[in-house]
Amino acid sequence: MSFLSKLKAGLGLLALSSLTAVFANESKLNLREGVTEISREAYHLHNWVVIVMLVIAVVVFGAMAYSMWAHSKKNNPVPAKFSHSTALEILWTAIPFIILIVFAVPSTKLLMKQYDTAESDLTIVVKGYQWKWKYSYPDQELEYFSALATPRDTFVNSSELASTPIAAIGHVLAGGVVGAGDKPTEKSATYLLEVDHELVIPVGKKVRFLVTAEDVIHAFWVPDFGIKKDAIPGFINEIWARVEKPGIYRGQCAELCGKDHGFMPIVVRAVEPAEFDAWVAQKQEEKRIAAEDAAKAAASSFTMEQLMADGEKNYLARCAACHQPTGQGLPPTFPALAGSKIATGPVAGHLNIVINGKAGTAMQAFGAQLTDVEIASIITYERNAWGNNTGELVQPADVAAFKNGK
Amino acid sequence: MGAHAAHDHHDDHHDHKPTGITRWLYTTNHKDIGSMYLWFAFAMFLTGGFMALLIRAELFQPGLQFFEPSFFNQMTTVHGLVMVFGAVMPAFTGLANWMIPLMIGAPDMALPRMNNWSFWILPVAFLMLISSLFMSGGGPNFGWTFYAPLSTTYGPPSTDFFIFSVHIMGISSIMGAINVIVTVFNMRAPGMTLMRMPLFVWTWLITAFLLIMVMPVLAGAVTMMLTDRHFGTDFFNAAGGGDPVLFQHVFWFFGHPEVYIMILPSFGIASAIIPAFARKPLFGYASMVYATASIAFLSFVVWAHHMFTTGIPLGGELFFMYATMLIAVPTGVKIFNWVATMWKGSMTFEAPMLFAIAFVVLFTIGGFSGVMLAMAPVDFQYHDTYFVVAHFHYVLFPGAIFGTIAAVYYWLPKWTGHMYSEGLAKLHFWLSMIFVNLTFFPMHFSGLAGMPRRIPDYNVMFADFNMLSSIGAFGLGLTQLLFLWIIIKTIKGGPKAAAKPWDGAHGLEWTVPSPAPYHTFSTPPVITDENAHS
Ligand code: HEM
Ligand SMILES: [Cu+2]
C-alpha cells in the first residue's frame, strides 16, 4: 500500500490513484482477499500478475503509441527497410519465458496447497441438485437441503415472461428495449444470495468438502474461501477451507446446470467452534423432534382445508420452480400438472412419481427429501388445485403405506 | 461482379458466367463462393448479435424483465453457436476463398465443386439450428459447450436437431479445410515457395490442419451424445458406468484448437495490413510462421485448462497450467513483431490499419487475461465467471471480428472495384472501438467481483457493470449496421479503385485489375524474390 502510494505520488497519475484503491481492496474493482490462507494467496498472486501485465501493457502499448506518432507518414516520410533482427527475436522470446517461470513457481506452490486435503478436522458432503444443495455432516449424522430464499415475485419484474422467440422479441420491444418490466420490485443487498438453511462450519478448523452431484454438473464456489470445484454425478471431488474469521460468506453455483442455474446460491455461516458444537447439538435435537412429530403426524389425519393450505405452501416452495405456480409447467421439459393424467388419475401413480422421481429428468425422488406429511399435502393440493377437482384426499398414512409397499 | 477476363476463350464452358439464382446455386468460382460465405457470415453475425442484444436487454438491470430463465439459456447457447460456427468460421473461409487463389497465383480453388457443396450445406445447418428455437421445449439451452449430462439426459427434444446441424457444420468446415490444403500444396504459381507465401496463406494453411484434426473429434462428441440419447449407450452417463468428464475432455480437445481456428487467420490479416500501411516489410516473417505453427501445436496440449475445476489430478493440473502459459511465448513473439513492423515505418491510418492496430492492442489485453486464467490456483476464482466472458470476447470480438473487418476494408476495393467511404469507415472504427471496450471491459470487474456467467439475473452489487455492458452492447450492435451500409454503398458505387489502391501493399492480388475479373491467373504469374511476400 505504501509502495503504491509512493508510486502514485511519484507519477501523479490519475489512473494510478484508482489503481491504489483497487489493490488496497477498497473497491469492488478487484478480486476479493477472502478469509482463508488460500484465498489470500490467490489474491496476492492475482495482484502481482495484474501489476506485471500492466507494466508489459505500458511498455508495449507505449511503444506502439510512440511509433504511431513518430513514425507516421507525416513525421517519417521515408520508412526504414529492416525486416528482422535475430538478437531482438531471441530476446523477446526469452523475456516472456522468464516472466512465466516467475509466475509458475508460486502458482505451483499454491496449487499443491489447495490439493492437500489431508488431516482435516471436519468433513462435509456437498451435493448439487437441480437447483439446490444438500449438505451432509456424516460424522454428526446431519443432513439438510439448502435452497434460494428470495421469493420468486421479488425477482420477477414482469407480469409475463417470454419463453419463445416471438414472445421474447415482443416483450423486449414493448419494454422499450432497455426499459424495466412492468412491476419492478425492491431488491435487498443479499438479493439472490440468501438461502433457507445455511451451511454452518467452525472457524479455525480444516473443513474438507466432498463435492458431488445428483443430476447434472454444478460447481460449488465460495469466493471468500478461494475454492471452486465442479460437482459431478458419479465423482467425488475434494476441496478444503480453513476459515479465519466468523461471518456469513456467499457464493453461487458456477456451472450451467439448467433453467435455474442462476438461482442456486451458497451461504456459509462460519462460527466459533463452541458455537458450532452447540449448533450441531441443536440440529440433532430438532431432528429428533421432527422425527417424532412426523411419526405423530403420519398417524393423524388432516382435513381437506389443512392439506390444501399446507400443500399450497409446500408446492410453491418445492415444486413451482418447474411446474409453475399455475400448475401449467413449461412443457415439454416440465409438464403441466393442471389436467395431467398423473395428477387426475390413480393416486398410486401420483405417489410413485413424487416419491421415486423419474430417472433422466429433473423430477427428483422427493421421498427422501420431504416428510410424509409434506408429501401428502402436496399431492392433495395437486389433485385439487387448478381445476383438478378430484376431491381426493391423501393422508400421511397413505404415503407411508405406499413407501412400505415398495 | 466484374467483367470476365479476355484470355479465357479456350473453353466455352468456363467462359460464360451464368446469371440469376442459378449462378449462385451452381457456382464453382472461388470469388462467388467467397462472397457467399462472407454474406452468410454477415447475416449470421447480425443474427447472433441480435440474440446478444436480447441477452443484454435482460441483464440491463437486476430482476427478470423479459424472459423465462430457460429462454435466456437458449439465447446464450444459440448466440455462441451462431457466432462461432456461423459468423467467425464462415467469414474466414470466405476470405480464404477469395484471397488464397489470388495470393498464390492460382486460377481457382483446387476442388471447386466441393467448394460449392461446402458452402451450400451451411445455410441448411443453421436453418435447422435456429428453427429448433421454435420447437416444443425450445432450442439448445446447455451452453455452446453443451456439457453432458445437461445436454444428453436432460437436453430438450430438439437436441437431435442441434446434433445434426453440428454434424453438417463440421462436414462443411472439413471440406473447406481440405480445399485450402490441396490448393496451397498444388496450385501455387511457379516460384511461390512455401516461405514466400503471404502470411495470410500460411495462417490459413495451419488453420486448415487444425480444422481437419479437430472437427472429427467434435463429430465424435455429438455422435456419442446421440447414441447416449437414443441407442442405449452410456458414454457420459455416470449411472450407467459412463463418465461426464470424458465429454469435457473430448469437447475441449476439439474446443481449444477451435479457439485458435478463430484467431490464426486474423493473425495473417494483421500481418498483411500492418506492413502495407507502415510501408515497411513485415518484421520477422520466418519467426511469424514458426510462432503460428508452435501456437497450433501447443493448442493440442492445453485443452484441460478449461477443466481446472473438474478435479483432474495435481500432476495433470500442473502440466496443463505450464503448457498453457507456454502459449503466451509465441503469441508474444507475434505481437512484438507487429510492433517492430510499425517501428520506423511511414504510417498512415486508413480504416484497415486502424482496425488492425486495434486488433493488436485489444487482442493483447485478451492475452493478458489469458495468462491470468492459465494460472490454475487463481483460475479457481475466475473460472465460469464474467472474467472468462471478458477474456474470450477480447480475443474474439477485437480479435476475430476486427480482423475480419480490417480484411474487408483492405480488400473491398479489389472485390468491388470501388473505394469505400473513408470518413464513414473511420466513424465505424471509432464507434466500434469505444463500444467494444464499454461492453467487455466492465465484464472483467463483474467477474472479479464474483458474478458467474450464464445467469439471467444477479445480485444488485453487479448492477453498475452490467448496465455499462448493456449500453455498450447496444452501441456496438447498432454500429455494425453502419458497416453493412458502408459495404452496400461501396458495391453500388464510389470512386474507382486502382489495381493497387494502397501504395504500400504487396502481393499478387494487387497485380490484377480492380474489381478482380471473374477468372484470374489462368496463366500463372512467375514469382521471384522481388515480387514475393510483403
Ligand atoms: C495468450 C493466449 C491465451 C491464453 C493463455 C488463454 C487461456 C485461456 C484459459 C486458461 C481459459 C479457460 C478459462 C476458464 O474457463 O477458467 C480460456 C478460455 C477461453 N479462451 Fe483463451 N487463452 C488465450 C487466447 C485465446 C484466443 C486466441 C482465443 C480465441 C480467439 C481464446 C478463446 C477462448 C474462449 C472462447 C474461452 C472460453 C471457453 C468457454 O469456457 O466457453 N483464447 N482461455
Ligand atoms: Cu447448479
Atom 20 of ligand 1, nearest CA residue: B392
Confidence at residue B102, expressed as pLDDT on a 0 to 100 scale? 96
Write down the pLDDT at residue A76.
94
CB B193, CB B284: distance < 8 Å: no
Task: Output the residue whose Cα is nearest ligand 1's atom 2.
Answer: B367
- Kindly give the distance from the C-alpha atom of residue A261 to the centroid of ligand 2, in angstroms, as a whole number: 5
What are the CA-CA distances from residue A349 to residues A319, A321, A346, A390, A392 (Å)?
Answer: 17, 22, 6, 14, 14
Helix (H) or strand (E) holding B23: helix B20-26
Do the Cβ atoms of B97 and B33 come closer than 8 Å?
yes
Separation between Cα atoms, residue A313 and residue A316, nearest integer Å: 5
pLDDT at A156: 86
Report, as an integer, the average pLDDT of A308-327: 88
Rounded distance from Cα B370 to ligand 1 centre (Å): 6
Mean pLDDT is lowest, of A77-81, B93-97, B404-408, for: A77-81
CB of B147 within 8 Å of a chain A CB? The answer is yes
Q: Does residue A334 carry a pLDDT above 90?
A: no
Digit-coded pLDDT (tens) for A179-213: 456 677 788 899 999 999 999 999 999 999 999 99
Question: Out of B60, B364, B365, whose CB is closest to A178?
Answer: B60
Set of cell numbers at residue B512: 490484377
Q: How far apart are CA A155 and CA B63, in angstroms?
A: 5
CA distance A400 to chain B (A): 28
| Residue A91 CB-density burial (10 A; 0-12 exposed, 13-18 middle, 19+ buried) | exposed
Catalytic residue from among B31, B188, B334, B500: B334
Residue B466: pLDDT over 70 = yes
Q: How far away is chain A from the Cα of B355, in angstroms, using its nearest Cα?
A: 14
DSSP one-letter string for B446-506 = HHHTTPBSS-S---GGGHHHHHHHHHHHHHHHHHHHHHHHHHHHHHH--SBPPSS-STT--
Mean pLDDT of chain A: 88
**What pLDDT score was predicted for residue B484?**
97
Q: So what's the pLDDT on residue A387? A: 87
For residue A66, the distance in angstroms to the closest alpha carbon of chain B comes to 9
Task: Quote the DSSP letter at residue A117.
Answer: -
From the list B54, B376, B449, the residue facing A28 with the nearest CB is B449
pLDDT score for A389: 86
Which chain B residues in 489-518 lie under 8 Å from chain A, judged by CB atoms?
Answer: none
Predicted pLDDT at A176: 60
Is residue B10 annotated as a catalytic residue, yes or no? no
Separation of alpha carbons B72 and B138, rounded Å: 11
Class of residue A33 by CB neighbours under 10 A (exposed 0-12, middle 13-18, buried 19+): middle
Q: Do A332 and B239 touch (CB under 8 A)?
A: no
Cβ atoms of residues A141 and A125 within 8 Å: no
Q: Residue A163 has what pLDDT?
A: 85
Q: Tell me what the mean pLDDT of segment A118-126 comes to.
A: 95
pLDDT of residue B533: 54
- At residue A2, does pLDDT exceed 70? no
Which bound ligand lies closest to the C-alpha atom of B257?
1
Give per-residue pLDDT as tens, B297-308. Answer: 999 999 999 999
Sign for the pseudo-dihedral over CA of B232, B238, B241, B243? positive
Among B335, B380, B470, most A C-beta atoms within 10 A, so best to mutate, is B380
Cβ-Cβ contacts under 8 Å for A321 (sequence gap 6 or more): A131, A152, A259, A260, A263
Residues whose CB is less than 8 angstroms from the CB of residue B127 and which lie 6 or more positions away in sequence, other chains included: none
How much is the average pLDDT of A39-52? 96
- From the list B64, B136, B381, the residue facing A158 with the nearest CB is B64
* Ligand 1 in reach of B306 Cβ (< 6 A): yes
Q: How far is the CA of A337 from the centre of ligand 1 (A)?
A: 44
Task: Tell if the CB–CB gap between B385 and A171 is shorter than 8 Å.
Answer: no
In our burial notation (b when 16+ CB lie closer than 10 A, e otherwise), range A256-294 reads bbbbbbbbbbbbbebbeeeebeebbeebeeeeeeeeeeb
Nearest to A252 by CA among B446, B471, B71: B446
Q: What is the pLDDT of residue B338?
A: 97
Instruction: Decide if B283 contacts B217 (C-beta within 8 A).
Output: no
Alpha helix positions (H), A162-216: 165-174
- How far does CA B64 lie from the centroid of its chain? 32
Quick check: is B30 catalytic?
A: no
User: How many Å lie between the alpha carbon of B338 and the closest alpha carbon of chain A?
Assistant: 9
Q: Which residues contact B73 (CB under 8 A, 6 or more apart)?
A: A256, A258, A259, A261, B141, B142, B143, B454, B456
* Residue B16: per-residue pLDDT: 60
Quote the pLDDT of residue A14.
40
Predicted confidence at residue A27, as pLDDT, reads 57
Number of Cβ within a 10 Å radius of residue A167: 16
Task: Judge contact between A191 and B459, C-beta under 8 A.
Answer: yes
> Does a cis peptide bond (omega within 30 degrees of 0) precede residue B515?
yes
CA B136/CA A332 separation, integer angstroms: 6
Based on the residue annotation, tell me whether B534 is a catalytic residue of this protein.
no
Residue A189: closest C-alpha in chain B: B460
The whole-number pLDDT of residue B10 equals 43
Calpha distance A266→A286 (Å, rounded): 22
Would you say residue B315 has pLDDT above 90?
Answer: yes
The residues, ordered by sequence, that sit 6+ positions from A1 with a Cβ below 8 Å of its Cβ are: A20, A23, A24
| The pLDDT of residue B125 is above 60 | yes
DSSP state at residue A164: S
pLDDT, tens digit, for every residue of B24-59? 999 999 999 999 999 999 999 999 999 999 999 999
Instruction: Identify the active-site residue in B93, B158, B172, B203.
Output: B172
Which residue is closest in CA terms to ligand 1's atom 4? Answer: B370
Task: Report the separation in Å between the CA atom of A257 and the middle of ligand 2, taken as the mean of its atom positions.
Answer: 4
Residue B449, strand partner residues = none
- Tens-place pLDDT, residues B268-300: 999 999 999 999 999 999 999 999 999 999 999
Alpha-carbon torsion (B355, B29, B508, B511), positive or negative: negative
pLDDT over 50 at B2, yes or no: no
Q: To the nearest whole percent, how much of chain B has pLDDT over 70?
A: 96
Give the per-residue pLDDT at B534: 44
Specify the pLDDT at position A104: 96
Q: Is the CB of B399 under 6 A from ligand 1?
A: yes
Residue nearest to atom 42 of ligand 1 (CA): B392
Q: Does the pLDDT at position A21 exceed 60?
A: no
For the stretch A123-169, pLDDT in tens is 999 999 999 999 999 999 999 999 999 988 888 888 788 888 888 88
The CA A169 to ligand 2 mean position distance, Å, reads 28
**Closest C-alpha to ligand 1, atom 23:** B370
pLDDT in tens, B57-107: 999 999 998 899 999 999 999 999 999 999 999 999 999 999 999 999 999
Checking if the pLDDT of A15 tops 60, the result is no
Q: How confident is the model at residue A11 (pLDDT cuts 50, 70, 90)?
A: very low
Nearest partner of B271 among B191, B333, B226, judged by Cα: B333
CB contact under 8 A, A189 and B461: yes
pLDDT at B531: 61
Cα B20 to chain centroid, rounded: 30
d(CA B514, CA B373): 45
Q: State how far the Cα of B116 lies from the Cα of B18, in Å rounded to an integer.
A: 15
Nearest-CA neighbor of B408 among B27, B98, B183, B28? Answer: B98
Q: What SS3 class is residue A339? A: coil
Contact A256 B147 (CB under 8 A): yes
**Cβ-proximal residues to B203 (8 Å cutoff; 6+ apart), any chain:** B264, B265, B267, B268, B271, B292
Nearest CA to ligand 1 atom 22: B370
| Ordered strands of the A142-146 beta sheet | A142-146, A132-137, A122-129, A207-213, A237-241
For residue B119, the model assigns a pLDDT of 97
Q: What whole-number distance in Å separates Cα of residue A304 and Cα of residue B77?
A: 45
Say yes or no: CB of residue B84 within 6 Å of ligand 1.
no
**Of the listed B37, B252, B260, B415, which one is catalytic?**
B260
Q: Are A308 and A384 in contact (CB under 8 A)?
A: yes
pLDDT (average), residues A230-244: 96
Does the beta carbon of B334 lie inside 6 Å of ligand 1?
no
Q: Cβ contacts of residue B41 below 8 Å, gap of 6+?
A: B86, B87, B88, B89, B90, B91, B94, B404
Give pLDDT tens digits for B138-184.
999 999 999 999 999 999 999 999 999 999 999 999 999 999 999 99
- Reply yes or no on whether the pLDDT at B363 is more than 90: yes
Question: Could you report the per-residue pLDDT of B499-528, keeping only the tens digit for each?
Answer: 999 999 999 999 999 999 999 999 999 887
Cell of A50: 495484474
The string of DSSP letters for B186-219 reads H-PPTT--GGGS-HHHHHHHHHHHHHHHHHHHHH
Nearest chain B Cα distance for residue A298, angstroms: 33
pLDDT reported for residue B485: 97
Cα-Cα-Cα-Cα dihedral of A395, A398, A400, A402, to 10°?
A: -150
pLDDT tier for residue B196 given thresholds of 50, 70 and 90: very high
**Three-state SS for A209?**
strand
Q: Which of B81, B147, B214, B388 to mutate to test the pocket of ligand 1 (most atoms within 8 A of CB)?
A: B388
Q: Is the CB of B331 under 6 A from ligand 1?
A: yes
Q: Is B371 near ligand 1, meaning CB less than 6 Å away?
A: yes
Q: Check pocket membership of B383 for ligand 1, CB cut-off 6 A.
A: yes
Ligand that comes closest to the CA of residue B384:
1
Residue A165 or A72, more confident: A72
CB pairs under 8 A between A and B: 346
Q: What is the mean pLDDT of residues B11-19?
A: 56
- Which of B70, B244, B278 is closest, CB to CB, to A330? B70
Of A73, A79, A185, the CB nearest to B344: A79
What pLDDT score was predicted for residue A317?
84
Q: How many residues does chain A have?
A: 406
Return d(Cα B210, Cα B225) in angstroms, integer: 23
Pick the closest to residue A265 from B458, B117, B96 (CA basis): B458
Residue A144, phi then psi, degrees to nearest 5 = -160, 160
Q: Please give the pLDDT value at position A111.
A: 96
CA B209 to the chain's CA centroid: 15
What distance in Å separates the CA atoms of residue A319 and residue B68, rounded to the nearest whole number? 16
Rounded to two decimals, what is the model's pTM? 0.91
